[in-house]
Structure 1
Amino acid sequence: MNTRSSKYEPLYKFLKLKDTNRVVMTFSDLEDILGFTLPTTALKRDQWWVNNNSQHTQANSWLKAGFRAVPKLNEKKVEFVKYLEE
Protein backbone atom coordinates (compact mmCIF):
# COMPACT_ATOMS: atom_id res chain seq x y z
CA MET A 1 0.00 0.00 0.00
CA ASN A 2 1.24 3.42 -0.86
CA THR A 3 0.22 5.78 1.93
CA ARG A 4 0.35 8.69 -0.50
CA SER A 5 -2.68 7.33 -2.31
CA SER A 6 -4.56 6.58 0.90
CA LYS A 7 -7.11 8.75 2.61
CA TYR A 8 -5.31 7.70 5.80
CA GLU A 9 -2.08 9.45 4.77
CA PRO A 10 -2.65 12.30 7.27
CA LEU A 11 -2.53 9.74 10.11
CA TYR A 12 0.68 8.25 8.72
CA LYS A 13 2.28 11.71 8.56
CA PHE A 14 1.09 12.61 12.05
CA LEU A 15 2.46 9.44 13.63
CA LYS A 16 5.69 9.47 11.63
CA LEU A 17 6.55 12.87 13.13
CA LYS A 18 5.94 11.70 16.71
CA ASP A 19 9.08 11.26 18.78
CA THR A 20 7.36 9.20 21.44
CA ASN A 21 6.59 5.54 22.08
CA ARG A 22 2.90 6.09 22.77
CA VAL A 23 0.16 8.29 21.34
CA VAL A 24 -3.34 8.20 22.83
CA MET A 25 -6.11 9.81 20.80
CA THR A 26 -9.86 10.09 21.05
CA PHE A 27 -11.76 9.05 17.97
CA SER A 28 -12.69 12.71 17.58
CA ASP A 29 -8.99 13.71 17.58
CA LEU A 30 -8.33 11.09 14.94
CA GLU A 31 -11.20 12.34 12.80
CA ASP A 32 -9.81 15.88 13.04
CA ILE A 33 -6.45 14.67 11.72
CA LEU A 34 -8.03 12.60 8.94
CA GLY A 35 -10.59 15.20 7.93
CA PHE A 36 -13.47 12.74 7.84
CA THR A 37 -15.67 10.68 10.14
CA LEU A 38 -14.44 7.20 11.03
CA PRO A 39 -16.55 4.36 9.67
CA THR A 40 -19.01 2.72 12.05
CA THR A 41 -16.92 -0.45 12.09
CA ALA A 42 -13.98 1.51 13.57
CA LEU A 43 -16.19 2.63 16.43
CA LYS A 44 -17.71 -0.78 17.16
CA ARG A 45 -15.30 -3.55 16.13
CA ASP A 46 -11.78 -4.32 17.27
CA GLN A 47 -11.18 -6.06 13.94
CA TRP A 48 -11.03 -2.71 12.15
CA TRP A 49 -7.90 -1.94 14.16
CA VAL A 50 -6.08 -5.17 13.24
CA ASN A 51 -2.28 -4.87 13.22
CA ASN A 52 -1.16 -7.00 10.35
CA ASN A 53 0.28 -6.29 6.96
CA SER A 54 -3.00 -6.58 5.16
CA GLN A 55 -4.87 -4.79 2.46
CA HIS A 56 -6.47 -2.47 5.01
CA THR A 57 -5.18 0.99 4.23
CA GLN A 58 -5.96 2.27 7.69
CA ALA A 59 -3.70 -0.36 9.31
CA ASN A 60 -0.92 0.29 6.85
CA SER A 61 -0.95 3.97 7.80
CA TRP A 62 0.05 3.30 11.41
CA LEU A 63 2.16 0.20 10.70
CA LYS A 64 4.33 2.04 8.16
CA ALA A 65 4.79 4.84 10.71
CA GLY A 66 6.10 2.21 13.17
CA PHE A 67 3.07 1.92 15.44
CA ARG A 68 0.50 -0.66 16.42
CA ALA A 69 -3.06 0.28 17.31
CA VAL A 70 -4.65 -0.67 20.62
CA PRO A 71 -8.33 0.30 20.43
CA LYS A 72 -10.30 1.17 23.53
CA LEU A 73 -13.77 1.14 22.06
CA ASN A 74 -15.60 1.68 25.36
CA GLU A 75 -13.55 4.84 25.93
CA LYS A 76 -13.80 5.97 22.28
CA LYS A 77 -10.00 6.10 22.11
CA VAL A 78 -7.12 4.42 20.38
CA GLU A 79 -3.58 4.08 21.65
CA PHE A 80 -0.78 3.87 19.10
CA VAL A 81 2.28 2.10 20.50
CA LYS A 82 5.66 2.23 18.78
CA TYR A 83 7.16 -1.14 17.90
CA LEU A 84 10.50 -2.26 16.56
CA GLU A 85 10.60 -4.15 13.32
CA GLU A 86 12.44 -7.43 13.53
Structure 2
Amino acid sequence: MNPSCAALFRGIAATDLRVIVCSGVALIMGKYTPLETYLRRRRERQSVELTFDDIERIIGALLPNSAQNPDWWSNETTDPRQVQCRSWREAGFRALVLDGEDRVQFVRTTA
Protein backbone atom coordinates (compact mmCIF):
# COMPACT_ATOMS: atom_id res chain seq x y z
CA MET A 1 0.00 0.00 0.00
CA ASN A 2 1.22 3.47 -0.82
CA PRO A 3 2.64 5.05 2.41
CA SER A 4 0.43 8.13 2.03
CA CYS A 5 -2.64 5.90 1.70
CA ALA A 6 -1.57 3.81 4.68
CA ALA A 7 -1.53 6.97 6.80
CA LEU A 8 -5.22 7.50 6.06
CA PHE A 9 -6.08 4.18 7.70
CA ARG A 10 -3.66 4.30 10.65
CA GLY A 11 -5.50 3.32 13.82
CA ILE A 12 -8.57 2.04 11.99
CA ALA A 13 -9.26 -1.68 12.34
CA ALA A 14 -9.82 -3.69 9.19
CA THR A 15 -13.19 -4.78 10.61
CA ASP A 16 -14.30 -1.13 10.44
CA LEU A 17 -13.88 -0.98 6.66
CA ARG A 18 -15.87 -2.46 3.79
CA VAL A 19 -14.71 -2.80 0.21
CA ILE A 20 -17.32 -2.54 -2.52
CA VAL A 21 -16.37 -3.32 -6.11
CA CYS A 22 -18.45 -1.58 -8.73
CA SER A 23 -17.60 -1.78 -12.43
CA GLY A 24 -14.09 -2.94 -11.56
CA VAL A 25 -13.45 -0.05 -9.18
CA ALA A 26 -12.90 -0.80 -5.51
CA LEU A 27 -14.52 1.66 -3.14
CA ILE A 28 -13.63 1.65 0.54
CA MET A 29 -16.59 2.37 2.78
CA GLY A 30 -16.56 2.60 6.53
CA LYS A 31 -18.58 0.06 8.47
CA TYR A 32 -20.73 2.86 9.92
CA THR A 33 -21.18 4.85 6.68
CA PRO A 34 -24.70 3.41 6.20
CA LEU A 35 -25.65 4.84 9.62
CA GLU A 36 -24.35 8.25 8.57
CA THR A 37 -26.39 8.04 5.36
CA TYR A 38 -29.49 6.96 7.28
CA LEU A 39 -29.18 9.91 9.68
CA ARG A 40 -28.44 12.41 6.89
CA ARG A 41 -31.68 11.38 5.21
CA ARG A 42 -33.61 12.41 8.32
CA ARG A 43 -32.99 16.13 7.63
CA GLU A 44 -36.35 17.19 9.02
CA ARG A 45 -35.93 15.33 12.32
CA GLN A 46 -34.44 16.93 15.43
CA SER A 47 -33.87 13.51 16.96
CA VAL A 48 -33.88 9.90 15.85
CA GLU A 49 -34.22 7.00 18.30
CA LEU A 50 -32.89 3.59 17.26
CA THR A 51 -32.48 0.27 18.99
CA PHE A 52 -29.18 -1.60 18.72
CA ASP A 53 -31.02 -4.07 16.46
CA ASP A 54 -32.13 -1.18 14.21
CA ILE A 55 -28.54 0.03 13.93
CA GLU A 56 -27.28 -3.47 13.14
CA ARG A 57 -29.85 -3.73 10.33
CA ILE A 58 -28.76 -0.34 8.97
CA ILE A 59 -25.02 -1.13 8.98
CA GLY A 60 -25.51 -4.74 7.90
CA ALA A 61 -23.32 -6.06 10.71
CA LEU A 62 -23.37 -6.73 14.42
CA LEU A 63 -22.32 -3.99 16.80
CA PRO A 64 -19.26 -4.93 18.85
CA ASN A 65 -19.77 -6.14 22.42
CA SER A 66 -18.24 -2.84 23.56
CA ALA A 67 -21.38 -1.04 22.30
CA GLN A 68 -22.99 -2.19 25.57
CA ASN A 69 -20.66 0.28 27.30
CA PRO A 70 -21.99 3.88 27.22
CA ASP A 71 -18.44 5.14 26.54
CA TRP A 72 -18.59 3.48 23.12
CA TRP A 73 -21.28 6.02 22.22
CA SER A 74 -19.04 8.94 23.15
CA ASN A 75 -19.29 11.94 20.86
CA GLU A 76 -15.52 12.54 20.90
CA THR A 77 -13.84 12.45 17.51
CA THR A 78 -10.18 12.85 18.56
CA ASP A 79 -9.47 9.12 18.93
CA PRO A 80 -8.97 7.60 15.43
CA ARG A 81 -10.28 4.27 16.75
CA GLN A 82 -13.69 5.83 17.45
CA VAL A 83 -14.82 5.45 13.84
CA GLN A 84 -18.44 4.89 14.83
CA CYS A 85 -18.71 8.36 16.33
CA ARG A 86 -17.75 9.99 13.03
CA SER A 87 -20.88 8.54 11.41
CA TRP A 88 -23.36 10.45 13.55
CA ARG A 89 -21.14 13.54 13.98
CA GLU A 90 -20.69 13.91 10.21
CA ALA A 91 -24.47 13.59 9.81
CA GLY A 92 -24.97 16.45 12.30
CA PHE A 93 -26.05 14.45 15.36
CA ARG A 94 -24.76 13.52 18.78
CA ALA A 95 -25.54 10.20 20.42
CA LEU A 96 -27.19 9.72 23.80
CA VAL A 97 -27.35 6.11 24.94
CA LEU A 98 -30.51 5.49 26.97
CA ASP A 99 -29.60 3.93 30.32
CA GLY A 100 -30.66 0.34 30.84
CA GLU A 101 -31.83 -0.07 27.26
CA ASP A 102 -30.20 -1.18 24.04
CA ARG A 103 -31.37 2.07 22.50
CA VAL A 104 -29.70 5.29 21.35
CA GLN A 105 -31.17 8.72 20.74
CA PHE A 106 -29.39 10.75 18.06
CA VAL A 107 -30.00 14.48 18.60
CA ARG A 108 -29.38 17.02 15.86
CA THR A 109 -26.53 19.44 16.51
CA THR A 110 -26.73 21.42 13.25
CA ALA A 111 -29.52 23.08 11.32
Note the C-alpha offset of 1:73: 4.5
Aligned length: 83
1:59 to 68, 74, 85: 85
Which structure features the higher share of strand residues?
2
- Mapping 1:21-60, distance limit 5 Å: 21-43=46-68, 45-54=69-78, 55=80, 56-60=82-86
Q: Which runs of 5 or more residues in structure 2 are unaligned?
A: 1-7, 9-27
1:31 is matched by which residue type in structure 2? E
Structure 1 unaligned regions, length at least 5: none
Following TM superposition, the consecutive aligned residue runs of length 4 or more in structure 1 with deviations greater than 6 angstroms are none
TM-score by length of 1: 0.87
Q: Answer 1 or 2: which has greater helix percent.
A: 1
Q: Percent identity among equivalent residues?
A: 37
- How high is the TM-score relative to the length of structure 2? 0.68
CA distance in 1, matches of 2:30, 2:98: 24
